């Protein structure tokens, strides 16, 4: 199936599902689309039992899409930039220390907690799996997905202090999580003896620090370019070129593209208004990236729903997936507990921050994309099914209940503050 046909089918499905959700279900946008896509996939599967044409065509579509490449190399940069562009630096500055700790130490700790707990869970089931493969699973499931989090929290009416922590963590822990995954993946491929600890540390430093430095440089250069002109069409094109160019350049020089895009987006979104942009330019840039965000979110969550067609439905795999849900949540709760205990009094955290951040930490397409990148000997089929179960639970169950949970826990706490005016 050619690329134009694939894109056309996905956008048509996204439009139809979005209409059904907006007109009838009225669920949060991303959640509604994924639920409808899953229902659609189940319907196709049932029709396939009557006539193989339906299931064959659907499987052909999914097999024609390289989900890992489509998300990690194409869609992710656009979605991260769209989110970062509207993230206000004043709020992040106050919480930079806990956000940095959540996104680094928190991700690494969660990786080892999930990996270790899953290793022993498999032993209990009599299914011994290499510990390094369990760590790989821990790395791919630990980062929260900024794409899912941003969309869902907008409708949860969470206090600004909570929203900034969850969104800020999600924007940065994604890049860090991918780096951790790549490091463990290299160890799993070559063996622990073949990998020098110094090389691992250097790789991590290069990816993270290099991504941040590249993002700052690219953001500053783009800002300077836009400052000397006043032509909204050109400036919108420049922001688009920035995202696409950064993605390719980061890949070529082996630094974290997601981190580079996030840093550049935050820099431009905070520096350009009133200095480099006229009101007209700011309006067009904001609207353009909002539309990009909505469109790609729609396509992504439709894709997640359709991925059900390639997921193994073995009873054992599904059972492990159900068991992995509380393990992933527990690991996140524990990994956040230390940083929260350190910073909560100094920065006046809201009540039950750990509970709300744990439940508000939505897993999404990034975890599925990383699971798809596993090699067959790394228990790819098993971990892909387990990942899918966690992601579906996370987006639907956690996504639908985070709003009511916030209201219940913080019933006597103000849900808006002065900082929300700048959002």
Is 334 domain-assigned?
yes
Q: What per-residue confidence (pLDDT) applies to 152? A: 74
For tokens 């082996």, what's the residue? 254
φ, ψ of residue 277 in degrees (nearest 5): -110, 140
- On the question of pLDDT at 261 being above 60, the answer is yes
Q: What per-residue confidence (pLDDT) applies to 407? A: 83
- On the question of pLDDT at 336 being above 80, the answer is yes
φ, ψ of residue 154 in degrees (nearest 5): -60, -30
Q: What per-residue confidence (pLDDT) applies to 88? A: 85
- On the question of pLDDT at 130 being above 80, the answer is yes
Q: What per-residue confidence (pLDDT) applies to 420? A: 40
Question: Model confidence over 18-28: pLDDT tens digits?
Answer: 999 999 999 98
Is 10 domain-assigned?
no
- Dihedral of the CA atoms 239, 241, 246, 249 (nearest 10)? -160
Report how many domains make up the chain.
1
Helix (H) or strand (E) holding 396: none
**Three-state secondary-structure class, residue 278:** coil
Residue 351 belongs to domain spanning: 68-422
- On the question of pLDDT at 273 being above 50, the answer is yes
Q: Which residues contact 387 (CB under 8 A, 6 or more apart)?
A: 137, 140, 141, 321, 367, 368, 371
Percent of the chain whose pLDDT exceeds 90: 68
Q: Which residues contact 193 (CB under 8 A, 6 or more apart)?
A: none
Question: Model confidence over 362-397: pLDDT tens digits?
Answer: 999 999 999 999 999 999 999 999 999 999 999 999
- On the question of pLDDT at 422 being above 90, the answer is no
pLDDT mean over 273-283: 95
Distance of CA 79 to the CA centre of its chain: 9
pLDDT mean over 334-342: 95
Regarding pTM above 0.85, the answer is yes
CATH of the domain at 196: 1.20.1530.20
Q: Where is average pLDDT lowest: 58-62, 188-192, 216-220, 382-386?
A: 188-192
Q: Which residues contact 344 (CB under 8 A, 6 or more apart)?
A: 353
Q: How far apart are CA 271 and CA 413, in angstroms?
A: 32
Q: Where is average pLDDT lowest: 61-65, 154-158, 291-295, 320-324?
A: 154-158
Is 21 domain-assigned?
no
Is 2 domain-assigned?
no
Distance of CA 55 to the CA centre of its chain: 29
pLDDT band of residue 414 (cuts 50, 70, 90) is low
Is 11 domain-assigned?
no
Q: What per-residue confidence (pLDDT) applies to 339? A: 93
pLDDT band of residue 421 (cuts 50, 70, 90) is very low
Contact 293, 83 (CB under 8 A): yes
Q: Which of 53-57, 172-176, 379-383, 413-417 has the highest mean pLDDT?
A: 379-383
Mean of pLDDT over the chain: 91
Is 45 domain-assigned?
no
Is 56 domain-assigned?
no
Helix (H) or strand (E) holding 154: none
Q: How far apart are CA 197 and CA 87, in angstroms?
A: 35
Would you tell me the crossing angle of helices 365-372 and 380-393 to the nearest 10 degrees?
Answer: 180
pLDDT band of residue 151 (cuts 50, 70, 90) is low
For tokens 């909560």, what's the residue? 344
Is 5 domain-assigned?
no
Other CB atoms within 10 Å distance of the CB of residue 159: 22
Question: Model confidence over 38-94: pLDDT tens digits?
Answer: 999 999 999 998 988 889 889 889 989 999 999 998 899 999 999 899 888 887 888
pLDDT band of residue 325 (cuts 50, 70, 90) is very high
Q: What per-residue confidence (pLDDT) applies to 86? A: 86
């Amino acid at each position: 199936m050619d690329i134009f046909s694939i894109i056309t089918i996905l956008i048509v499905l996204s439009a139809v599902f979005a209409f059904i959700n907006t007109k009838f279900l009225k669920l949060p946008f991303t959640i509604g689309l994924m639920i409808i896509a899953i229902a659609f996939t189940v319907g196709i599967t049932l029709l396939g039992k009557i006539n193989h044409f339906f299931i064959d065509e659907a499987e052909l579509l999914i097999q024609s899409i390289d989900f890992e490449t489509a998300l990690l190399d194409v869609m992710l940069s656009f979605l991260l930039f769209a989110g970062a562009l509207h993230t206000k630096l004043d709020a992040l500055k106050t919480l930079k220390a806990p956000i940095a700790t959540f996104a680094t130490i928190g991700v690494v700790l969660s990786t080892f907690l999930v990996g270790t707990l899953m290793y022993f869970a498999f032993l209990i089931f009599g299914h011994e799996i290499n510990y390094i493969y369990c760590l790989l699973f821990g790395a791919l499931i630990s980062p929260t997905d900024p794409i899912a989090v941003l969309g869902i929290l907008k409708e949860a009416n969470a206090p600004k202090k909570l929203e900034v922590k969850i969104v800020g963590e999600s924007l940065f822990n994604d890049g860090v999580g991918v780096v951790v995954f790549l490091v463990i993946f290299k160890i799993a491929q070559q063996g622990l003896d073949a990998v020098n600890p110094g090389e691992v540390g250097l790789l991590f430093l290069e990816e993270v620090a290099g991504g941040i430095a590249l993002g700052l440089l690219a953001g500053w250069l783009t800002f300077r370019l836009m400052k000397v002109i006043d032509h909204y069409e050109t400036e919108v094109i420049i922001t688009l070129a920035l995202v696409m160019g950064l993605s390719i350049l980061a890949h070529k020089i082996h630094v974290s593209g997601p981190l580079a895009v996030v840093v550049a987006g935050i820099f431009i979104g905070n520096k350009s208004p009133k200095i480099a942009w006229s009101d007209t330019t700011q309006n067009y840039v904001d609207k353009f990236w909002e539309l990009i965000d909505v469109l790609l979110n729609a396509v992504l969550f439709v894709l997640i729903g359709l991925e059900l067609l390639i997921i193994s439905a073995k009873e054992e795999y599904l059972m492990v997936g159900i068991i992995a849900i509380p393990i992933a949540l527990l690991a996140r709760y524990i990994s956040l507990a230390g940083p929260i205990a350190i910073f909560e009094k100094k920065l006046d955290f809201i009540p039950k921050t750990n509970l709300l951040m744990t439940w508000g930490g939505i897993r999404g397409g990034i975890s599925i994309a990383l699971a798809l990148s596993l090699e067959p000997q790394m228990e790819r089929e098993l971990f892909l099914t387990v990942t899918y179960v966690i992601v579906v639970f996370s987006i639907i169950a956690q996504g639908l209940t985070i709003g009511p949970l916030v209201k219940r826990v913080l019933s006597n706490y103000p849900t808006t503050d002065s900082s929300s005016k700048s959002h």
